[in-house]
Structure 1
């Protein structure tokens, strides 16, 4: 029996952000990680991936906060999965036309945008948001 290492797959690169007070902000030209995790007592996450160098597969964003939402923007052709939990705060998502957005989860007090059907075979962004106050708002970039 021969055991070989699979060199085609590499471990998922994760960026961690932990804070009691303060958020996470990324914009402009930067190398986005496969997974970004932000945990805060008070503080949101503002991630603008429109000029970022994205990994080959989808990006995964995980955000958990007592107070603080997530404001996310993606360029054309980007695929992502977003998991958010907030006691106070929601998710504000901006995507280009043609992107499919699938929204799931619940909000006790707050609205939730409907799914947006994009182009067949196009980019897909999946949002799972759980909050007591605050919902999911999806906007298409102009």
Structure 2
């Protein structure tokens, strides 16, 4: 019996970040993972994907922190999903003009940007955020 590696469908690539104090920061030219999981007592996630090499499919960010938010920026044509839970902190998201943004979840104290309709066939960014204090802010880049 011969076992061969399936090269047609690459394995799911996940980056894990676990810390008591400290956040996760990626900027510039880096290879983005398909899934990034960040869990921290105190510390957020800052991911600027505008200069990154993106995977063929969507990128996923899963973030949970007692104190700390998420700051995200995406380039033209990116497809992403964000799932966040935070006791203190929120999500600050920057997307190119014309990008469709779907926002769901709840915030006990704090605001939440509305979903934005993009151009037909445009990239889609999905945000699911859950927090006791904090919200979701979506901005379009200039």
Please report the TM-score for the alignment, with normalisation by the length of structure 2.
0.95
| Shift, 1:128, TM fit | 0.2
**CA distance in structure 2 between the partners assigned to 1:116 and 1:8 by the alignment:** 35
Aligned ranges 1:14-53 → 2 under 5 Å: 14-53=14-53
Q: CA deviation at 1:7?
A: 3.6
Deviation of 1:9 after TM superposition, in Å, equals: 1.4
Structure 2 counterparts to residues 1-142 of structure 1, below 5 A: 6-142=6-142
- Unpaired stretches in structure 1, ≥5 consecutive residues: none
Deviation at 1:109, TM superposition (A): 0.3
RMSD over aligned CA atoms reads 1.3
Per-residue displacement from partner, 1:6-43 (whole Å, max 9, x unpaired)?
54212110000100000000000000000001000000
Tell me by how many angstroms 1:87 deviates.
0.3
Distance in 2 between the 1:50 and 1:62 partners? 19
- What TM-score comes out, normalization by structure 1 length? 0.95
Ranges in structure 2 where 5+ consecutive residues have no aligned partner: none
